[in-house]
Structure 1
Amino acid sequence: MRKVPVWALKPGMEVARQVYDSNGHLLLNAGVRLEVEYIQSLKKLNIPAVYVVNPLIPDIKVEDVILCDTRHKAMRLAQKILTANLNAPPNTRSFVSRLFSYKKELNEVVDEIISQLLDCRELVINLCGIRTVDNYTFAHSANVAVLSLISATAMGFSRSELRTVGQGSFLHDLGKSLISPSVLNKTEQLLPEERQEIKQHPAYGYDLIKQQPFADSVAAKIVYQHHERIDGQGYPEGITGRDIHVYSKICAIADVYDALVSDRPYRPAYPPHRVLEMFQSGEGGYDPEIFQVFSQHVAAYPVGTVVGLSNGLIGIVVQNYAGYSTRPKVRVFCEKDNLERLPAYEM
Structure 2
Amino acid sequence: MSMKHEITDGLNEEYYQINPDILGSFNKFRPPLNLYRFDENVARIIPYYKVGGRLSNEQIEELAELTKEGIIFVSRDDHPVYVKHISYQLDLVLVDKNLKEREIGDIFTQALTRRCKEFFEQPVPIVFDKLWTDMMVLTEYLFNDIHRSRALARRLNKEYSLETHAVNTGFFGLALYGAMRKRDFEEGGVKRKMFDRMTAGLFLHDLGMTKVPSFILQKSKPLTGEERAKVNQHPMLGYQMLAKLDLKYPEVEECVVGHHERVTGNGYPQKKSGDTMGYFGKLCGLADSFCAMTSKRPFRGDPMTAEEAANKLLMDKGYDPTMTGMLRKLVTDLKLK
Q: Flag the 1:221–1:121 CA change in 2: closer, same or farther, 3 A.
A: closer
Whether 1:147 aligns to 2:172 is yes
Hey, what's the Cα distance between the residues in 2 that align with 1:237 and 1:108? 32
Q: TM-score, normalised by structure 2?
A: 0.61
CA contact (8 A) 1:70 1:112 kept: no
Mapping of residues 82-101 of structure 1, within 5 Å:
82-84=120-122, 99-101=124-126
CA contact (8 A) 1:65 1:123 kept: no
Aligned residue for 1:163? 196
C-alpha displacement at 1:207, in angstroms?
0.4
For structure 2, list consecutive stretches of 5 or more residues without a partner in the other structure. Answer: 1-74, 79-99, 185-189
The amino acid across from 1:139 in the alignment is: T
Aligned residue for 2:90? none
Q: Deviations over 1:83-131 (max 9, x none)?
A: 11xxxxxxxxxxxxx6222343233222222233343547546735345
Q: Flag the 1:103–1:188 CA change in 2: closer, same or farther, 3 A.
A: closer
CA contact (8 A) 2:113 2:167 kept: yes
C-alpha displacement at 1:192, in angstroms?
0.5
CA contact (8 A) 1:141 1:172 kept: yes
CA contact (8 A) 2:307 2:328 kept: no
Aligned residue for 2:154? 127
Q: Deviations over 1:199-245 (max 9, x none)?
A: 00000000011244245343123201110001000000111011111
Q: Flag the 1:178–1:231 CA change in 2: closer, same or farther, 3 A.
A: same
Hey, what's the Cα distance between the residues in 1 that align with 2:289 and 2:313? 10
Whether 1:234 aligns to 2:273 is no
Hey, what's the Cα distance between the residues in 2 that align with 1:64 and 1:278? 29
1:228 is paired with a residue whose SS is: coil
Q: Percent identity?
A: 23
C-alpha displacement at 1:162, in angstroms?
1.2
Aligned residue for 1:196? 229
CA contact (8 A) 2:239 2:257 kept: yes
Hey, what's the Cα distance between the residues in 1 that align with 2:148 and 2:251? 28
Greater fraction helix: 2
Hey, what's the Cα distance between the residues in 2 that align with 1:220 and 1:102? 20
Whether 1:289 aligns to 2:327 is no
Whether 1:75 aligns to 2:113 is yes
Q: Flag the 1:297–1:105 CA change in 2: closer, same or farther, 3 A.
A: farther
Count of residues in correspondence between the two structures: 231
Q: Flag the 1:198–1:66 CA change in 2: closer, same or farther, 3 A.
A: farther
The amino acid across from 2:212 in the alignment is: I
Hey, what's the Cα distance between the residues in 2 that align with 1:215 and 1:69? 29
Q: What is the RMSD of the two structures over their aligned residues, measured on CA atoms?
A: 2.8
Hey, what's the Cα distance between the residues in 2 that align with 1:163 and 1:198? 27
Q: TM-score, normalised by structure 1?
A: 0.60
For structure 1, list consecutive stretches of 5 or more residues without a partner in the other structure. Answer: 1-28, 33-61, 85-97, 306-347
1:186 is paired with a residue whose SS is: coil
1:267 is paired with a residue whose SS is: coil
Aligned residue for 2:11? none
Aligned residue for 1:216? 249
C-alpha displacement at 1:300, in angstroms?
6.7
CA contact (8 A) 2:119 2:128 kept: no
Whether 1:117 aligns to 2:117 is no
Hey, what's the Cα distance between the residues in 2 that align with 1:76 and 1:215? 24
Aligned residue for 2:308? 274
Aligned residue for 1:20? none
Aligned residue for 2:292? 259
1:195 is paired with a residue whose SS is: helix
Hey, what's the Cα distance between the residues in 1 that align with 2:288 and 2:335? 19
Deviates more, 1:115-124 or 1:69-78: 115-124
C-alpha displacement at 1:150, in angstroms?
1.9
C-alpha displacement at 1:256, in angstroms?
0.6
CA contact (8 A) 1:75 1:139 kept: yes
The amino acid across from 2:174 in the alignment is: L
